Homo-oligomer: A and B are copies of this chain.
Amino acid sequence: MRKVCVVITARPSYSRIKTALAAIRDHQSLHLYLVVAASALLDRYGMVINEIKRDGFSIDRQVYMVLEGESPISMAKTTGIGLMEMATVFDNLGPDLIVTIADRYETMATAVAAAYLNIPLVHIQGGEVTGSIDEKVRHAITKLADLHLVSTKQAFDRVVKMGEHPDKVVITGCPSIDLAQEILASPKLDFCPFDKYGGVGRNVDIANGYLVVMQHPVTTEYEKASTQVDETLYAVMGLGIPTLWFWPNVDAGSDGTSKGIRSFREREQPENIHFFKNMEPYDFLRLIYNSRCLIGNSSVGVRESSFLGVPVVNIGSRQQGRERGENVIDVSYDRREIVEAVTIQTQRGRYDQAHIYGDGHAGKIIADVLATTPLSIEKRLNY
């Protein structure tokens, strides 16, 4: 019975890993320890911990680690605090292996703690290419990790090129696609977003189609965040199409983006935009599926959307280097470019399903690999 400790530090990590979590919990050779940490515990990021509980997971440890300030210095200190905390948590729980997800800055705390405590580290979603600080974090974690569960063939190739032994790299697909797969059975929007999630701004009429926007700050340019989001705001207001807009996650600069949005709302009082904090994964995916176009720089645009065939307008550099399907049009922070691309996408309509990030069974594959793969903490460059 292997004890698998999974650390969730933010909403998107949870959405992405959810089916794998369930598969681990339900696997007869695995015992799941679940650690919920960082912004996943915080009220102003929507208390994703409550969702996790509602989804039937029991939580073994909660780790408060976010130092307020939303600046580079608080990112560094948050990670330092997290490292101190995770060392205690892992020492207390004594897992056989630790799972960390993707590339958020605070996941470095999990990775370093696992490596220094000599506990095998499993990294999910390594080998991708984006840019900004995530790029450094992701590959640094690859070098700390002992087992790599990647989403795509390209990711596999990159991780192996970086010197990891091919036996330690497994293409599982991305578990976020599992959720997308599940909703395809009944893809209709079966809830009223305004009733269920509240949010702020006018209740726009979505009966005849709507846009969805998710725009996160780009960390290393965090002072420009406000200006960048303004372009999208003016573009979307100009288009006049009913729009559902999601506030950004915590990050250095999220304040920049959030402030930009808040200031725009006061100034321009846009009539066609309603703002949400976040939604439960299935609701969120159905919302995306039924949208006429997803706009912004979320990885959902390249990942789930390619599987769902949703038209996407991807803005700026945040997803640069990530594999994408034909459904994505890339534009820069420029309201005219955005308007033009959205117009093309809404006229074109739904794309064919693409299987770049897996076929919808990643969660189960991940649990099986975790249960059977030989564990080791010794490795060397495979050159």
Chain A residues in the interface with B (C-beta under 8 A): 39, 41-43, 61, 64-77, 79-88, 91-92, 105, 108-109, 112-113, 115-118, 129, 131-133, 135-137, 139-144, 157-158, 161-163, 198, 220, 255, 259, 266, 320-321, 377-381, 383
Contacts and interface: CB of A to CB of B under 8 A. Distances in A.
A381 B135 CA distance: 8
B85 A83 contact: no
A67 B113 CA distance: 14
Given A64-B67, A112-B112, 18 more contacts: A61-B92, A64-B73, A72-B117, A76-B83, A76-B84, A76-B86, A80-B84, A80-B87, A88-B88, A132-B378, A135-B379, A135-B380, A136-B143, A136-B379, A140-B143, A161-B162, A220-B378, A320-B380
Number of copies of this chain that the complex holds = 4
B85 A88 contact: yes
Nearest to A108: B112
A27 to B, nearest CB: 27
Contacts of A136: 115, 143-144, 379
B76 A69 contact: no
Given A65-B67, A67-B65, A163-B161, A381 B143 contact: no
B83 A77 contact: yes
Contacts of A87: 73, 76-77, 80
Contacts of A71: 64
A383 B68 contact: no
Contacts of A139: 143, 163, 381
Contacts of A129: 380-381
A142 B163 CA distance: 12
Contacts of A157: 383
A162 B127 CA distance: 12
Contacts of A131: 378, 380
Nearest to A127: B381
A326 B116 CA distance: 34
Contact of A220 (B75, B118, B255): B118
Most chain B CB within 10 A, of A73, A113, A116, is at A116
Nearest to A114: B76
A162 B112 CA distance: 20
Contacts of A83: 76-77, 79-80, 83
14 contacts: A42-B68, A64-B68, A64-B73, A66-B68, A73-B117, A77-B87, A79-B80, A79-B112, A83-B83, A129-B381, A140-B140, A143-B143, A158-B163, A320-B380
A268 to B, nearest CB: 15
Given A67-B67, A143-B140, A321-B380, A76 B116 contact: yes
A81 B84 contact: yes
A84 B73 CA distance: 9
